[in-house]
Amino acid sequence: MSYDTVREVDPAIADALTGERERQNETLAMIASENHVSEAVLSAQGSELTNKYAEGYPGERYYAGCAHADRVEELAIERAKKLWGAEHVNVQPHSGTQANMAVYLAMLEPGDRILSLELEHGGHLSHGHPANFTGKTYQVEQYHVDVETGYIDYEGLRETAESFQPDIIVSGYSAYPRDVEWTRIQQAADAVDAYHLADIAHITGLVAAGVHSSPVGIADFVTGSTHKTVRAGRGGIIMCQAEYADDIDAAVFPGGQGGPLMHNIAGKAVGFEEALSPEFEAYARQVVDNAKALGEQLQDHGFSLVSGGTDNHLVLVDLRDSHPDTTGKEIEQALEEVGIVLNANTVPGETRSAFNPSGIRAGTPGLTTRGFDDAATRKVADLIARVVDHPEDEGTKAQVNEAVEELTDRFPLYE
């Protein structure tokens, strides 16, 4: 995609856009929630549908001229139903957080009770954090991972559900490296007559490809984002049983949003079509294989992984055992200097702060989109280890930066 037409009008923005493309081409995107969409998804998202208002749903719009918008949204829904096996799908949420908001709006009253995983243990802001609307609108209690094992404390969750009597239990996480026992959480919800929302934002693509267990058909509501492992561009999605369809649709529009972002919905439709291919299943499998390879190689270098490994697309490194004086933020910054982009992250039992925590989170969806296999991913682990061992050594960082350049040249991204 050329930015020549942008440049004619706005050179500053054209510079930023080309700069961002170069940054993505020349660095390794290892933020676990990021990925690279295809040129087809980029093109659909940059289409004339950005001009169109289409409040309502296909066949029932509040404005004229929606024939093509209807077709796009119908196809996105049809493909999503095939991908995840859902009874009802709403593709209009602008993001994963908006998708969660719609579920709360549909099923809860202000002051109702949410039981969710603590943010520091891998939860998400929109699951009830005090700084988020959820923490301000609802009563929130949290469950935890077992700090020793790094796995969800399912028994603790069940006990807290019994004492707190939540209206909804939220599962699905943003920094949890293990498969989730959806049925066990559903049983805890059933025992207290609570709804169960499974937020699969991070693993949407892994679930679609069948390489991670699915909560669809178990939890009452499944939300996700469409730009992470499923590579369908920015946005959110809600899946639910047919009995909740009208409530969910009304909570998205007019409840929480106005006009749908039809250009993004076109991107979702294209990305979902790509995800229905056998190549996508192979991609998702490789994402998990690469995460395992990354984790094993880091362990060989002496690093501690929360839960001792991974079942999905990410690893969470607790630096306190191997590098007690080094913080996640220092490593995030040192790695960015050499072209490896990941994020500092809290770890269970965090002893520092959320802004300067003790861990780093690293994901493989972006590398795998570029074509990285196990061996290439292990090389990246070697490079990370060198920088973590010597974060202030300019010579080491220059050598690692050269090695990163070789890898980005070998696995090119956008032309």
Contact positions toward ligand DSN, by CB under 6 A?
A: 33, 96, 124, 174
How far is the C-alpha of 83 from the C-alpha of 208, rounded, in Å?
5
Residue with smaller CB distance to ligand DSN, 268 or 397? 268
Output the six-digit token pair for 378: 């292990």
Residue with smaller CB distance to ligand DSN, 174 or 223? 174
Residue with smaller CB distance to ligand DSN, 33 or 307? 33
Residue with smaller CB distance to ligand DSN, 24 or 174? 174
In the complex, minimum distance from the CB of residue 200 to ligand DSN, in angstroms, rounded to a whole number: 12
How far is the C-alpha of 340 from the C-alpha of 334, rounded, in Å?
9
Residue with smaller CB distance to ligand DSN, 96 or 150? 96
In the complex, minimum distance from the CB of residue 351 to ligand DSN, in angstroms, rounded to a whole number: 22
Beta strands in 226-323 (DSSP E): 236-240, 304-305, 314-318
In the complex, minimum distance from the CB of residue 91 to ligand DSN, in angstroms, rounded to a whole number: 18
Coil/strand/helix, residue 28: strand
Residue with smaller CB distance to ligand DSN, 124 or 268? 124
In the complex, minimum distance from the CB of residue 311 to ligand DSN, in angstroms, rounded to a whole number: 17
Residue with smaller CB distance to ligand DSN, 36 or 124? 124
User: What is the phi-psi region of residue 226: left when phi exceeds 0, alpha when psi lies from -120 to 50, beta otherwise?
Assistant: alpha
Residue with smaller CB distance to ligand DSN, 56 or 96? 96
In the complex, minimum distance from the CB of residue 177 to ligand DSN, in angstroms, rounded to a whole number: 13
Asked if 6 and 318 touch (Cβ cutoff 8 Å), the reply is no
Output the six-digit token pair for 257: 């949003």
Q: Classify residue 111 as exposed, middle or buried by CB count within 10 Å of its CB (0-12, 13-18, 19+).
A: exposed
Cis, peptide link before residue 348, omega less than 30° from 0: no
Tell me which residue has its CB nearest to ligand DSN.
Answer: 33
Asked if 359 and 306 touch (Cβ cutoff 8 Å), the reply is yes
Beta strands in 179-321 (DSSP E): 195-199, 221-225, 236-240, 304-305, 314-318
In the complex, minimum distance from the CB of residue 174 to ligand DSN, in angstroms, rounded to a whole number: 4
In the complex, minimum distance from the CB of residue 51 to ligand DSN, in angstroms, rounded to a whole number: 28
Residue with smaller CB distance to ligand DSN, 56 or 365? 365
For 22, 144, 248, 291, the CA distances from 79, given in Å and listed in that order, are: 32, 35, 19, 27
Single out the residue of 381, 382, 372, 374 nearest to residue 407, CA to CA. Answer: 372
Q: Which residues of 336-347 are buried (b: 16+ CB within 10 A; e: fewer)?
A: eebbbbbbbbbb
Four-point Cα dihedral 126, 129, 134, 137, nearest 10: 180
Beta strands in 233-391 (DSSP E): 236-240, 304-305, 314-318, 340-341, 343-345, 359-363
Q: How far, rounded to the nearest angstrom, does the alpha carbon of residue 33 sit from its chain's CA centroid?
A: 4
In the complex, minimum distance from the CB of residue 71 to ligand DSN, in angstroms, rounded to a whole number: 30
Residue with smaller CB distance to ligand DSN, 125 or 250? 125
In the complex, minimum distance from the CB of residue 33 to ligand DSN, in angstroms, rounded to a whole number: 3
In the complex, minimum distance from the CB of residue 362 to ligand DSN, in angstroms, rounded to a whole number: 12
